[in-house]
Amino acid sequence: MIIFASRIMKRYWILTLLTTLAGMSLAQDGTTAFPFLRLPHSAHAAALGGENITTIADDVTLAFHNPALLSNVADKTLNLNFTSYIEGSKVASAAFSRQFGARSAWAATVQYMDYGDITETDIENNELGELSAKDMAFMGTYSYLLSERWSGGVTAKLIHGSYAEYTSFAIGVDLGINYFHEESDFSASLVVKNLGGQVKTFDEEHEKLPINMQVGFTKRLAHAPIRLSLTLDDLTHWESAYYNPEDKNISFGDLLLNHVVVGVEVAPSERFYLAAGYNCKRGHELKADGGSKWTGATLGGGLRLKRIKLGVAYANYHTAASSLVLNFSMGL
């Protein structure tokens, strides 16, 4: 009887923690393990709607979104990132990249999320104390120039979660390919993220990683320093609480719109850019949770000095607070 009660309490705590952490992270990943993997650590991508896999720039953080883009990063780049999130939580990452020969590049990255102290309660909602919860991912990325216009890349991930006394370990892989036509400044990519699964579970039940297939395009206007981006996000999941596929009144266009992320970037020189974007799915979800109609909008900019690059972006990932994504990169 004691063992049975212990198992019930264990499952109750795991469910409570995962529900709380999913609510603190991206809403669309509440049913998967490690939803923090969807948070953008790149200010450049965050400013363009939070999901961008096609922007060509000397920016190692863009390889977090598409490993094939690592081919565009200068040798010996050190990168540090921080994201302000809900009060009490911390999001940070660091990366180092190097070129390897004329066609190859590699990078090592660590991502970290501390959800802060969470109040521990029993089934009757009596407060028992405080719990801590943390997620971490160690990643290795390799990219290769397949030809003058094509590049491919892969990122391997070792993922660890610690929620109170419960822990989980998972292995994941990102695969990406990019086509870039330099003369017309046109870029197209296909990426599949978070293939893999849990090796050690929080409980007896295995949970999926937040797998995501994306297709994207970026095109620079012919006579203006403006680049437009379109990303089709989360193409492996068409179910939604806001667009029910079984509703015959919902058109395919409405369903598709729920996967659209758009961005515009103005770059009058190689040293400076301003960007804005809109994430349709995030806008719908946060609006349904009480956010304003602008919750899917993002803004940001970047500055490139001789050896230092700075980036900043503003976005909403939760109705409780706005977020700032800050990037610092330096050539060694």
Whether 45 has a pLDDT exceeding 70, the answer reads yes
What pLDDT does 153 receive? Answer: 98
* Closest to 180 (Cα-Cα) out of 57, 61, 75, 271: 57
Whether 117 has a pLDDT exceeding 80, the answer reads no
What pLDDT does 28 receive? Answer: 44
Phi-psi region of 53 (alpha: psi -120 to 50; beta: other; left: phi over 0): alpha
* Closest to 68 (Cα-Cα) out of 185, 179, 171, 220: 179
| Average pLDDT of the segment spanning 173-185 | 97
Whether 115 has a pLDDT exceeding 60, the answer reads yes
Q: pLDDT tens for residues 120-149?
A: 666 777 776 777 889 999 999 999 999 999
What pLDDT does 27 receive? Answer: 45
DSSP H helical segments within the chain, as ranges?
2-24, 43-47, 252-257, 280-288
| Amino acid at site 286 | L
What pLDDT does 10 receive? Answer: 47
Which burial class, exposed, middle or buried, applies to 1 when counting CB atoms under 10 A from its CB (0-12, 13-18, 19+)?
exposed
What pLDDT does 250 receive? Answer: 65
Query: DSSP 3-state assignment of 40?
Result: coil
Q: pLDDT tens for residues 49-85?
A: 999 999 999 999 999 999 999 999 999 999 999 998 8
Range in 62-71, 89-98, 171-180, 282-291 the model is least confident about? 282-291
Quickly state the pLDDT bin for 176 (edges 50, 70, 90).
very high
Question: For residues 276 and 272, what is the distance between their CA atoms, to the nearest angstrom?
Answer: 14
Among 87-101, 113-127, 198-212, 263-277, the range of highest mean pLDDT: 263-277
Q: pLDDT tens for residues 283-330?
A: 888 777 776 767 889 999 999 998 999 999 999 887 777 899 999 999
Name, in order, each residue with C-beta under 8 angstroms of 1's C-beta and a sequence gap of 6 or more. Answer: none
Quickly state the pLDDT bin for 241 (edges 50, 70, 90).
very low
What pLDDT does 8 receive? Answer: 42
Whether 232 has a pLDDT exceeding 80, the answer reads yes
| Average pLDDT of the segment spanning 72-99 | 92
Query: DSSP 3-state assignment of 35?
Result: helix
What pLDDT does 9 receive? Answer: 44
| Average pLDDT of the segment spanning 25-36 | 63
Quickly state the pLDDT bin for 247 (edges 50, 70, 90).
low
Question: For residues 242 and 30, what is the distance between their CA atoms, to the nearest angstrom?
Answer: 15
Quickly state the pLDDT bin for 244 (edges 50, 70, 90).
low
Domains and CATH numbers, the chain: 2-331 (2.40.160.60)
